[in-house]
Amino acid sequence: MIRRTTAARGLALAAVLSLGLAACSSSTEEGTGGASSSAAADPLKVGTLLPVTGTLAFLGPPEIAGVGLAVDEINEAGGVLGSEVELTQADSGDSTDMTVSSQSATDLIGQGVSVVIGAASSSVSQNVQPTLNEAGVMQISPANTATDLSGVNPLFSRTAPPDTVQGSALGSLVLDDGHTNVAILAQNESYGTGLRDNVQKAIEAGGGSVVYGATGAGQEFQPGESNFSAIVTAALAQKPDAIVVVAFEETVAIVNELVAQGWDFNGTTYFCDGNTASYADQFDPGTLEGVVGTIPGAQAEGEFREAVSGWWEENEGEPLSDFSYAAESYDAVMLAALAAVRGGATDGQTISDNIQAVSGSEGGTECTTFAECVDALESGDEIQYTGKSGIGPLNADNDPSSAFIGVYAYAADNTVSWTRAIEGSVG
């Protein structure tokens, strides 16, 4: 097991956290870009479907903290359409047991949420999306990157870019380091195969080749796999000069097997967002030195980093140790709230109808805080919310039109640090 902070302590499966319960509500006038601040609407009920358990539990704390911080700031600014935002949290689990996310989605619908922030796993979102859509619930993922989620439904959006962006960046990094014969160890689900496909496209476009794990070769491993002896043996038999690992917690077993079979990681091994995290207590010093990883999204910095860590410490008793997707989670809530303000109602369809506009798809006044954006909307202006994640306006598929990919490097103690960011556009 990877030892990482999880959200388990205060966020057990059945936990419900309601922030600022509203006293009453009434119907509102239909909004057209300038909702009346005096009109009271049904409270905006936000649900989270984020990993408390499972192979992506290390992503739970920063994502949950990003949501919580955004809700607090919105309520401090007066709430949405006259009522404070209410927050209900649920566990998404992972793709090894879809019953967790299915039950959580049903529970959130029963709680009356109109927007769900999550999931972290693309496969989990694909599992729950039909259920949420049928219930009229808007879903905004801060971390899904699978390309087949682009435009899947008007009630689905995301603040992380599809894998066309990360795949291109990761493939380019491999080529820039002089590698031409690449093995890809990818898990057999939509995230793993989708990212693999896009990494392969970039490598082949640059003159390289994928010698193991290529599209159509049937060499993917199943999520939750723990024995990689035969897989690593087969991959190394192709004499790759680089290995790309597209996995979650399976990465620990993969690394241990690569070590056992004599692989030199320095300058030859590449991780991605599912496994780019610190492994200080997992391997001998120096094991991962020189490994490079990528994570979609902007690096949490300065005041925001302190605020989101402070929120987690206040609510869970310790500061954050990882900030992956915190900014994207924060922005997902802000976009949903601003869409409700622009539309004059808090239901999922209204949020869907207005989310592209408040992200800047129609131009308008740039604003960086909820209060600034609401002031502009109430003045009758269109807005472009410029958030913490640095994404461009949402396009017709509800994907960010541009986004940053962070590049990270491993040190001798097997910890990882941000080195730079690459900005890419969504094709």
Q: Do 326 and 283 belong to one domain? A: no
Residue with tokens 């019953």: 99
What CATH number did the domain enclosing 419 receive? 3.40.50.2300
Give DSSP secondary structure letters for 389-421: S----B-TTSSBSEEEEEEEEE-TTS-EEEEEE
Q: Is 361 within a domain?
A: yes
Q: Are 191 and 120 in contact (CB under 8 A)?
A: no
The gap between the terminal CA atoms of the chain, to the nearest Å, is 37
Residue with tokens 């993917």: 220
Secondary structure element (H or E) that encloses residue 185, with its range:
strand 181-186
Q: Is 31 within a domain?
A: no
Q: Do 279 and 349 belong to one domain? A: no
Q: Do 378 and 419 belong to one domain? A: no
- pLDDT on residue 40: 53
Least confident of 7-11, 166-170, 197-201, 414-418: 7-11
Residue 10 pLDDT greater than 90, yes or no? no
Residue type for position 342:
R
Residue 158 pLDDT greater than 80, yes or no? yes
Which candidate, 216, 279, 220, 214, places its Cα nearest to that of 251?
A: 279
Q: Are 123 and 95 in contact (CB under 8 A)?
A: yes
Give DSSP secondary structure letters for 111-128: TT-SEEEE-SSHHHHHHH
For the ranges 5-9, 12-16, 352-356, the one whose mean pLDDT is highest: 352-356
Q: Do 356 and 313 belong to one domain? A: yes
Q: Is 249 within a domain?
A: yes
Q: Do 68 and 128 belong to one domain? A: yes
Q: Report the C-alpha gap between 248 and 144 in whole angstroms.
A: 14
Give me the phi and psi of 345, to 5 degrees please.
-155, 165
Could you tell me the residue range of the domain that residue 136 belongs to?
A: 45-161+300-394
CA distances from 194 to 98, 211, 298, 323 (A): 19, 18, 22, 24
Write out the two tokens for 34: 């300038």
- Provide the number of structural domains found in the chain: 2
Q: Whole-number mean pLDDT of the chain?
A: 90
Q: Do 113 and 220 belong to one domain? A: no
Least confident of 23-32, 56-65, 74-83, 122-131: 23-32
pLDDT digits (tens, 9 = 90+) for 45-87: 999 999 999 988 999 999 999 999 999 999 999 999 999 999 9
The band of 302, judged by pLDDT with boundaries at 50, 70 and 90, is confident
Interval 259-265 mean pLDDT: 98
